[in-house]
Amino acid sequence: MFSRRNRPPKSPELRTAWDSLESGDVPGALRQLRAAGEDQPLAQVAQVVRRAADSAGFDDLAEAAAALAADPDSPRALHGFGYACVERGVSYLAVPALREALRRSEGAPAVLRELVSAYEDEGRHRDAVDALTAQAERHAGRFADWPDRYLLVFNAVMAGDLDLARRVHALLDAPENEVWLPARDRQNQVLARAADAERAAPLDPSDLRGWQYVISGTVLGTLSPYGFASGMNGRYAWLQDDVDQCLRGLLRLRALLEATGARPRSVSLLPDRDSQILGLAAAEVLGLPAEPFESGRPDTVVVAYDLDGLAAHDGGPELVGDLFERAPGQVLHAHASCWTDPPAITADSVGLLHQSIVAPWAERLRQGADGAVEKGPADARPAAEIAAGIVAADPAPDRGDGEGPADTDAEFTAFATAVRGTWLRGDRARVRSAGPVPSSRFT
């Protein structure tokens, strides 16, 4: 006979997740919990989450889930469960519990802020805006400038609603607690970038380059010419990169430097092999000397192939820390950046956005002699030799499937010229959200 703790849930959708746990598949159970949606009985959800947390060794989440399963009407148990879910990276499980906790606690500010955090983790910025707006209307006396009104501005921008963001931002008083000063400065910079970007970009729901600049300060060099009308909106999903694309990214970097009046004196080479290759090619394309990266060097272009690859290199985390604060005249360019799991720091210039990428010189999938797909060997040639191949590549744009915008050099230069006054401002803080422009993704 099952104890209450081990009894399967009654909901058919949750029973599927339970069955996954029975077979030892915790990730599968979590996927089933997401697929089940937000209308499941919270006590039964907590029952499944408790067992999953026990299997994963997450004692805090298991304890919070047990408390909710025992008393699903308790605002404290609901909030505790939601908080633990956010802390453990399963914010989608936190949302329904925190919404109910907010209702039962009559808008407690701590619960509201945790719900907003869960929405932000899930990229649900419009839902965050709605929750914050409702709180401002119903409980105005408890709606603080910092963090509540600040969070409303942030999520309005991320939802693509600049009019609302500007109206609310105008109501913000200077923060009394200095801990909020960096956040205030970043928000000021976001809205200043928006004012520049909208002079050369529509900032509509498909304007990837424009919104990327607004939310992060990154100038995006190229747009994917595949699947634009099918939901990709200029981002790549899985990409086997090639030297032609590397050259196109470097040429856009050169155009950006020229349009903004940046005058770097060197290219700084990062230590990982991928970045060494691309950096040597960049030095040739830009007509600048290449030298090993040195923290704090001014007036230089630091070139990374992919910042995630840099972080995985020996000493990479320290280099990432060195690059967080921008030295005077320093430009950080990354050829590729993951949009579903952004790197720890934000580059000033990015060649393309992807979900997963294979470098041109890495082990790559190919068709074997027997017609089967196989993984070919990595290119073991010296970095300088591969870099020469990039410089000699074909820079002609990939025509793609014909669904997307032309993404001409003239349009890119016009955008770069429009944002020259706000580019290269502030630090390079990570921006976790993809912003207002959605893209299809694979899991």
| Geometric angle at alpha carbon 266, from 265 and 272, rounded to 5° | 160
Query: What is residue 261's predicted lDDT score, i.e. its pLDDT?
Result: 98
Longest dimension (CA), the chain: 76
Contact yes or no for 80/100 (Cβ under 8 A): no
Helix ranges restricted to H, 172-242: 181-197, 208-216
Q: Is the pTM of this model over 0.75?
A: yes
Q: Strand, coil or helix: what is 300? A: strand
The closest of 190, 155, 225 to 399, measured between CA atoms, is 225
Extract the tokens encoding 113: 């802020």
Element (H, E) at 375: strand 373-375
CA distance 20 to 9: 13
What pairs with residue 333 in β-bridges?
A: 303, 349
Q: Strand, coil or helix: what is 301? A: strand
The closest of 314, 315, 291 to 302, measured between CA atoms, is 291
144: left (phi over 0), alpha (psi -120 to 50) or beta: beta
What's the Cα-to-Cα distance from 442 to each of 25, 90, 232, 237, rounded to whole Å?
A: 20, 18, 11, 7
Per-residue pLDDT of the chain (443 residues; tens, 9 = 90+): 334 556 789 899 999 999 999 999 999 999 999 999 999 999 999 999 999 999 999 999 999 999 999 999 999 999 999 999 999 999 999 999 999 999 999 999 999 999 999 999 999 999 999 999 999 999 999 999 999 999 999 999 999 999 999 999 999 999 999 999 999 999 999 999 999 999 999 999 999 999 999 999 999 999 999 999 889 999 999 999 999 999 999 999 999 999 999 999 999 999 999 999 999 999 999 999 999 999 999 999 999 999 988 888 888 889 989 999 999 999 999 999 999 999 999 999 999 999 999 999 999 877 776 777 788 899 999 999 999 999 999 999 888 998 888 899 999 999 999 999 999 998 899 999 999 999 988 76
Query: What is residue 3's predicted lDDT score, i.e. its pLDDT?
Result: 44
AA letter at 274: D
Query: What is residue 278's predicted lDDT score, i.e. its pLDDT?
Result: 98
Query: What is residue 70's predicted lDDT score, i.e. its pLDDT?
Result: 96
Query: What is residue 263's predicted lDDT score, i.e. its pLDDT?
Result: 96
What's the Cα-to-Cα distance from 258 to each of 1, 2, 233, 251, 267, rounded to whole Å?
A: 74, 71, 27, 11, 15
Contact yes or no for 235/355 (Cβ under 8 A): yes
The closest of 242, 297, 241, 249 to 269, measured between CA atoms, is 297
Contact yes or no for 267/303 (Cβ under 8 A): yes
Q: In order of start, what are the domains of the chain with their CATH numbers?
A: 12-191 (1.25.40.10), 204-418 (3.40.50.2020)
Query: What is residue 404's predicted lDDT score, i.e. its pLDDT?
Result: 85
Extract the tokens encoding 54: 């026990």
Task: Give phi and psi for 331, each to the nearest 5.
Answer: -120, 130
